Amino acid sequence: MTAALQVAGLRKSYGALEVLTGVDFEVERGSIFALLGSNGAGKTTVVRILSTLLRPDAGTAVVDGHDVTAHPAAVRESISLTGQFAAVDERLSGRENLELIARLRHQKDPRQIADALLERFSLTEAGGRKAATYSGGMRRRLDIAMSLIGDPKVVFLDEPTTGLDPQARVEVWDAVRELAANGTTVLLTTQYLEEAEQLADRIAILHRGRIIANGTLAELKTLLPAATVEYVEKQPTLEEVFFAIVGEDAPVTQEA
């Protein structure tokens, strides 16, 4: 079976500024692929090209078997894109947001689709509330749920946890894992090292317009010298302290 995403020699410039200088990678179907890089590395440019929002200057990009330049309409039918900020209508309830997207995508029985997605993302009890009352994590989960209407084969998540608190980040991570478990291919861009470590089957590091490393976490770790064994007193991280205090398993779906 061919890869879900195939990128070769991708280049893009804005005037004299070269953003992508030859990007190459492949993503297997049903996997989570993290594109890791600092701000300005070109991650969003890659996603915009793969989602047909931007034309490359050179190179090829194939999404679900369709060339992004030659067959953009076919690509758009196969994908969904979630940007850095949740695109929900805060004046509508969670259920109304989902039903609206289902109608816009000409889906049968929008109500049933909305109910199924609310349950899948643990938002059933909050489904009748306006999205304005949702916490950051709830709003982001709703945004991802909206992106799944129409059963896209590939989902692009462009820095999905930007600005979220630790508890909300964990909620989004669980939602991303759920996508891959159901067979959806996920390309995730992030600048958070821990996020890539927690979620990705493979990680590519984008630096100065090129992929400088690509592999599993275990493979990337072999690029460093062998670790030395030392016995030290381990102190809890701030994240461990946070969850110990608030309760890691505390229900969050009803928080505003």
Write the pLDDT tens digit of every residue in 192-249.
Answer: 888 888 999 999 999 889 999 999 988 888 877 766 777 777 777 767 766 776 665 5
More confident residue, 253 or 90: 90
HSE-up of 57 (CA within 13 Å, CB side)?
Answer: 14
The model's pTM: 0.80
Cα distance between residue 17 and residue 33, in whole Å? 27
**Does position 95 have pLDDT exceeding 90, yes or no?**
yes
Domain ranges of the chain: 30-57+73-224+234-246
Q: What's residue 79's pLDDT?
A: 94
Q: Does domain 30-57+73-224+234-246 have CATH number 3.40.50.300?
A: yes
**Does position 177 have pLDDT exceeding 60, yes or no?**
yes
Cβ atoms of 196 and 36 within 8 Å: the answer is yes
Q: What's residue 224's pLDDT?
A: 72
